[in-house]
Copies of this chain bind each other. A is one copy, B any other.
Amino acid sequence: MEMTERRRQILGLVVREYIKTAQPVGSEALARLKLGVSSATIRNELAALEAEGFLTHPHTSAGRMPTERGYRYFVESVMDEFELSPIEQRMISHQFHQVTLDVEQWMRLSAAVLAHTSHTAALVTAPRGPESRFKHLELIGISDKVAMLVLVLQEGTVKQQMLNLSQPLPQEELRRIANRLNDYFAGLNSARLHARARDLTDFTATVAETIASLMEQLDQRTSREIYRDGLLDIFRQPEFAAVDRMQQLLEMFEQHNLLEDMMLKLAPNQGVQVIIGREGGHDEFNDYAMVLARYGVEGEASGIVSVFGPMRMPYPLAVSTVKYVSSLLDDLMLRFYGGR
């Protein structure tokens, strides 16, 4: 089949209309939108588009709706590079400048902005380097037998952990130990830190082991925390009018291995990427879609922003929002970690 301009137009109209109404769209309705030809002509074109696999029929007397392939073509070749309006951009960037300088807050805000602007669920991961490196350690006495270990990593993550003391140690002594280990471990990754910890004994050895295992935990990809927002909005979509669909989605979120997997597959530095339905390689992902982008400095510290929803997703809006938020985070990261 030849992909004439008119067919492209009609496909675009069907996709947009279906995204808006969630109802299969018929030839009559299209004729009313796009004046110039009659519904009969449009029917012929629709049949051609269906034969090519861009559209389907739920049943004989229903209108057309896009297939996975139809959405893909729309995203690739029909959809215009829709930009957020300057007003919206300013509103968003304003919010980012108001918030305090804290990674956690940035993540929450990013998720909130993505969800509210694109009317879908948002998933955001915190920036992380390829592997964590030791930066600083602090020991604080809590009681006679307990001390708190505070660990700061190069990328800015902070972890704390309680430690049992076999014998009471004064704060002065704790500080001395911390200072010694700070010099000893400066800049090491978990493996090298682990190796160097062998030379230590007693309490310092315990501290070192604890640090190493905390860092290993962080390096495991499953330990990444994912910030989410907008789940509720998604559940209001008509696709989840059936209970089982709703449950399926809930399960996908709760045990989020699947979505995490999608995020890991994201190629580095490819700009915004769109995954539609089974393209992701998971059958459960059947009629869902995701729009993702990496932000930050590759190799240094980077994370992922993404939105997720039913396959019937406002792609133009989603793509441009993801693009804009990731560019904002790029700036922030550069500003605060760039001049290291």
Q: Is A340 on the interface with B (CB-CB < 8 A)? A: yes
**A-B residue pairs, 10 tightest by C-beta:** A101-B162, A158-B160, A143-B339, A143-B340, A136-B140, A232-B254, A146-B336, A138-B138, A102-B161, A144-B339
Shortest beta-carbon distance from A75 to chain B in Å: 30
Closest to A236 in B: B247
Contact B152 A148 (CB under 8 A): yes
Q: A150-B152, A246-B243 are in contact. Are A337 and B158 (CB under 8 A)?
A: no
Q: Indicate which residue in B146, B161, B240, B339 contacts A145 across the interface (CB closer than 8 Å).
A: B339
| List of B residues within 8 angstroms of A162 by Cβ | 100-103, 156, 336
Contact A142 B232 (CB under 8 A): no
Q: Indicate which residue in B144, B148, B164, B236 contacts A156 across the interface (CB closer than 8 Å).
A: B148
8 A Cβ contacts from A131-173 to B: 135-136, 138, 140, 142-146, 148, 150, 152, 156, 158, 160-164
Q: Is A241 on the interface with B (CB-CB < 8 A)? A: yes
Complex Cα distance A140/B150, Å? 12
Complex Cα distance A236/B244, Å? 10
Contact B254 A231 (CB under 8 A): yes
For A138, A240, A242, which residue has the most chain B Cβ atoms within 10 angstroms? A138
Q: A140-B136, A150-B138, A236-B247 are in contact. Are A158 and B156 (CB under 8 A)?
A: no
Complex Cα distance A284/B268, Å? 47
Q: Is A73 on the interface with B (CB-CB < 8 A)? A: no
Q: Is A28 on the interface with B (CB-CB < 8 A)? A: no
Q: Is A250 on the interface with B (CB-CB < 8 A)? A: yes
Q: Is A235 on the interface with B (CB-CB < 8 A)? A: yes
Q: Is A251 on the interface with B (CB-CB < 8 A)? A: yes
Q: Which residues of A contact B (CB under 8 A)?
A: 100-103, 135-136, 138, 140, 142-146, 148, 150, 152, 156, 158, 160-164, 231-232, 235-236, 240-243, 246-247, 250-251, 254, 336-340
Complex Cα distance A231/B140, Å? 37
| List of B residues within 8 angstroms of A240 by Cβ | 243
Complex Cα distance A163/B336, Å? 10
Complex Cα distance A101/B146, Å? 9
Complex Cα distance A22/B146, Å? 49
Shortest beta-carbon distance from A225 to chain B in Å: 11
Q: A135-B140, A156-B142, A336-B146 are in contact. Are A161 and B246 (CB under 8 A)?
A: no
Contact B243 A164 (CB under 8 A): no
Contact A152 B140 (CB under 8 A): yes
Complex Cα distance A336/B144, Å? 9
| List of B residues within 8 angstroms of A337 by Cβ | 142-143
Closest to A230 in B: B254
Complex Cα distance A336/B231, Å? 38
Contact A150 B146 (CB under 8 A): no
Contact A163 B232 (CB under 8 A): no
Contact A102 B243 (CB under 8 A): no
Closest to A214 in B: B100
Q: A143-B339, A150-B152 are in contact. Are A161 and B232 (CB under 8 A)?
A: no
Show 27 residue pairs from A and B whose CB-CB distance is below 8 angstroms, ordered by the A residue: A100-B161, A101-B146, A101-B162, A102-B162, A135-B140, A136-B138, A136-B140, A140-B152, A142-B156, A142-B336, A142-B340, A143-B336, A143-B338, A143-B340, A144-B339, A145-B339, A148-B158, A150-B158, A152-B160, A156-B162, A158-B158, A231-B254, A232-B250, A232-B251, A235-B247, A243-B243, A246-B246
